[in-house]
A = this chain, B = another copy of it.
């Protein structure tokens, strides 16, 4: 500590929002160089490297091979897959001195695909899994929370290459198993959730989330079964067919002054009371209008029908439509469609075949045979007993309605069980998915199969963010007094505090440090002399968060040092002569 390039800070940095970010800066692990761009100081770099090493071991262990692509990439491959434009403002683009277009790689699907195309040509060469641990760039609109959402960050990205879908499923499972081993070794609480695959396309997709209140991702778990999913990936249980044989004919009614769901429900209960139960928001069909911004710049209106007791979830909607961006339809845009009557829009004016020609997609709950109260496309009027499939047919369905605690679990539903969903927040730390053949098709990656026929290769994509993991692990393990690292990623095994100015104290602390180093441990020795009091040293040790803190100080008079577990706070006095063996024992268990 007397020479280590570190300075701890008493106060939280101004720009830090989340506890892990505050502590990583205060404890001298990282420094901000620009928004979303960080410098790794020695302590931080050690944690990052330990995480990378764990990932590398497990990737090598499952037979994946490491290589390394550049970060500065030519435009052409990304044009072939349309990502040059699809990424919009989210990538950094630049020109070289000759005017050539380049980007800073946000992910490397194209490069991996092309290198396999370059080297391999036969089904005999496959399966193949290759990976890199490398620096990536995204020009995030809102970099936040320190390392949790950075603009320059480290990623382990790997790709599997197979001839058949069954091969891909196997490669996916091998990666999934390796990821479980990695996350178990990293030593914190995580959950595997079903996920959407975002801009990448593809089918099966799961995320590894660190459980954390500050997480950006909301996920849900079933209260009964093992279902867990990112909110973007939650699906509504398949609708049970409903018979509408005894449903009355749809009838338009005057509902003056009811442009909102609340006012409509009040009016219905007032003017058209029901015997069995009062009208509720869930009986109404709300039609929300948005504008899709396609990557090529074109704009398209879209109507989304959801039960009146639910909002459209922007993230779920965008998750379905990526790389398209979505914004609400404003008054000016609405005015361009005279068929739409604000506050009273209904299926009569919606759909590709309708008066407005606006595509109309609905929540899966708006299923065939279900009955709804919805706008009559006339000011101050709604239609009651509108039956899907009889009175109107939407252009399709979309999973865009908000997910709520208590919603039915889709997995339980298939078994006839009654589990319900409960939400929590997490930090995305890993993402595995079956990418399929889209990249191989776009870039022409084919191999000869057993019959000498050219077939397109199918790919899987697997990512972990080691730099984000540093923050996520910190976030998941910190406590009131500082960082509190799991043993396998801590910047050192033992933090020895020489507590006192006496020469005997320093000599004993140094001897212990030497003995532990000889035994193969990483030791952080606080040998600062002069004005640094034992109190300051203890506070620093707690802040830095090495799992085992050893105090060489007053107890030395009785021949003892104190060994303390940073996490539990448990302390024990150990005779100086036994200390090294005892500490090695603690670290190695």
| For the complex of A and B, 6 pairs with smallest distance between CB atoms | A94-B94, A40-B68, A89-B97, A34-B74, A7-B119, A37-B70
Contact A5 B130 (CB under 8 A): yes
Chain B residues, Cβ within 8 Å of A31: 115, 118
Whether A182 sits at the interface, judged by CB under 8 Å, is no
Bound CA–CA A508/B70 (angstroms): 40
- A290, CB-defined interface residue at 8 Å: no
**In the bound complex, what is the Cα–Cα distance between A152 and B120 (angstroms)?**
26
> Does A50 interact with chain B (Cβ within 8 Å)?
no
A312 in the interface (beta carbon within 8 A) = no
Chain A: residues with Cβ within 8 Å of the partner, total of 50
Asked whether, in the complex, the Cβ of B102 is within 8 Å of the Cβ of A96, the reply is no
Chain A, 103-130, contact with B by CB distance < 8 Å: what is the 0/1 string?
0100000010001001110000000101
Roughly how many angstroms separate A68 CA and B139 CA in the complex, as a whole number? 20
A128 to B151, CA, bound (A): 30
Are the CB atoms of A115 and B73 closer together than 8 Å?
no
Instruction: A96 to B91: give the CA distance in the assembly, Å.
Output: 9
**Interchain CA distance A7-B124 in the complex, whole Å:** 14
This chain: copies in complex: 2
Summarize A's interface: helix, strand, loop or mixed.
mixed
Q: Does A219 contact B (CB under 8 A)?
A: no
Task: State whether B42 touches A65 (Cβ < 8 A).
Answer: yes
**Which residue of the partner chain B has the closest CB to A4?**
B65
Decide if A96 touches B139 in the complex (CB within 8 Å). Answer: yes
What distance in Å separates the Cβ of A106 from its nearest Cβ neighbour in chain B?
A: 13
- Are B63 and A39 interface neighbours, CB within 8 A? no
* A325 sits at the interface (CB 8 A): no
B residues in contact with A74, CB < 8 Å? 33-34, 37
Q: Is the C-beta of A41 less than 8 angstroms from some C-beta in chain B?
A: yes
Q: Which of A30-81 contact B (CB under 8 A)?
A: 31, 33-34, 37-42, 45, 48, 63, 65-74
Would you call A568 an interface residue if the criterion is a C-beta within 8 Å of the partner chain's C-beta atoms?
no
Question: Which residues of the partner chain B approach A38 to less than 8 Å between Cβ atoms?
Answer: 70
Find out whether the CB atom of B93 lies under 8 angstroms from the CB atom of A139.
no
Asked if A397 CB lies within 8 Å of chain B CBs, one says: no
Chain B contacts of A73 at CB under 8 A?
33-34, 37
Q: A37-B70, A42-B67, A96-B139 are in contact. List 14 more A-B contacts (CB 8 A).
A: A31-B118, A37-B72, A37-B73, A39-B70, A39-B111, A40-B67, A41-B119, A42-B65, A45-B67, A45-B68, A72-B104, A72-B152, A89-B97, A92-B102
